[in-house]
Amino acid sequence: MSSSLKDLTRCSVAVDLGAARTRVHVKGTGLIVDQPSVVAVNTRSGALIAAGGAAARMDGRTPRHIRVVRPVCGGTVVDIDMAQRMLRALVGDQLRGVFRRRAFLRAVATIPHDADPLAHSAAVETLTGVGAKSVELVDAPTAAGIGCGLPVQRPEATMILVCGAATTQVAVLSLGSIVAAGTVHLGGDTIHNAVVQYVRNRHELLLPSQAVRPLHLALTQGVQGPTEVLGRDVVTGLARTVTIDPDDVRSAVQTPMTGLTDTIRAVLHRCPPDLVADLAERGMVLAGGSAVLPGLDERLRECTGMRVRVADRPELSAVDGLAALMDGRVPAITAPPARGGRSGTVRLRRRRPAAQGAAGSGPETSGDAPDASEARNDRPTGGGTTPEPVGDSSSDGERAMPEARTPAPGTAGPAAPSPT
């Protein structure tokens, strides 16, 4: 078994800090938090008024002295203090029970595949600030792939799209690592904003957020009839109803949708031909909350000609993947049979902490077109202690997976083990 898998099985709390929702899974207990990543604070006193669903319900309805804050953006913590306050409020007593059982609390969290060292340290600092003594980071596509039940550890390619709130991460995984990946600014919130903007420009009407979801249905090809929506007139400020044509909604989201198909093509372009042949057979899996966006799967099928499947619990794929890693339910990597058909073990060694400048410069962030072996061995480790396969990589055996990472030296790293 690889050392990184071992490290992950020592974790007892899994955290998926998303721009839209925060999910916390505790080993042996299950999902204890699945709430919007939102806090409401009193700007006069600085006191936290609400967190999660209660704070989200206040959004757009607050008096001047109450501010609704989203401390996570695109899977990256942008306000560490607010993120810690939010986690403390959401997890509260439930995590205190875990602390009582385990003095040395290890946590594992997802991070975007192209996160930079600052994003790594922000995630680690957030979790150490709420009591974790050490933090492992796993890139979101690998976690989601595992959560969807994809055989990411096998030598065949699998393509996963993690469709979040503001971004979609497109990744091709093989042998437990990302071979090629890209990110596009398309997600549930992007589609929401595109529709709101369209109605504002075309009909001079401001839509309340609950009026936008019904318009999403227009993205499904079969929908023909117009939809009536109620909003506030931009000029008069009075409530007014307008009729929206589904074709107009489709054209409003055309630009972000084209960005997604372009990114998929670019990722396929960077893949070695063997893996593209695998993908032609297997297709792609959609994970993340926006995977259920009406018509997204059929649009991707049409544009790419590939099979498209929506994961069973797309919004929970990433946290389910982290839970599987903590529980040790993910088998070690199996390499393709060697010429002689003999199997062996690829030993692992800890990589020396890399220079900080090299951190986060993985193949998918550099924009280069790496071959598969480069991509697997030169992972975006964040300059941490990712185990690295040594020896003959073409032989059978086990290799480290997934990309468990700790932050670069010099950044806010995992807390040192306490003597307790």
CA 50 – CA 113 distance, rounded (Å):
31
> Which listed residue (52, 71, 75, 382) binds ligand ATP by CB under 6 A?
75
Of the candidates 8, 15, 19, 308, which one interacts with ligand ATP according to CB under 6 A? Answer: 19
Specify the DSSP class assigned to residue 118: H
What's the full length of the chain, in residues?
Answer: 420
Binding mask 135-174 for ligand ATP (x = CB under 6 A): -----------------------------xxxx-------
415 is in an annotated binding site: no
User: Minimum CB separation from ligand ATP for residue 20, in Å?
Assistant: 3
To ligand ATP, the closest distance from the beta carbon of 162 in angstroms equals 6
Cβ closest to ligand ATP, residue 157 vs residue 191: 191
Burial class (CB in 10 A: 0-12, 13-18, 19+), 367: exposed
> Could you say whether residue 321 binds ligand ATP (CB under 6 A)?
no
**CA-wise closest residue to 90 among 144, 171, 170, 16:** 16
Give the tokens for residue 239.
Answer: 């409530």
Tokens of 101: 């059982």
- First and final CA of the chain: distance in angstroms? 28
Q: How far is the CB of 25 from ligand ATP (least distance, A)?
A: 14
Regarding 383 and contact with ligand ATP (CB under 6 A), the answer is no
Closest to ligand ATP by CB, 141 or 402: 141
Residue 196: Cβ within 10 Å count? 20
Could you say which of 52, 145, 176, 188 contacts ligand ATP (CB under 6 A)? 188
Dist. CA 113–CA 169, nearest whole Å: 8
Minimum CB–partner distance for residue 19 and ligand ATP (Å): 4
Contact 24, 323 (CB under 8 A): no
Per rule CB under 6 A, is residue 211 in the interface with ligand ATP? no
Q: Is 167 annotated as a binding residue?
A: yes
Residue pair 284/207 in contact by the 8 Å Cβ criterion: no
Q: Which residues face 284 on adjacent strands?
A: 159, 308
User: Which residues of this protein are in contact with ligand ATP, per CB under 6 A?
Assistant: 18-21, 74-75, 164-167, 187-189, 216, 288-290, 292-293, 315
Q: Please report, in range form, the residues annotated as the binding site for ATP.
A: 165-167
State the binding site.
165-167
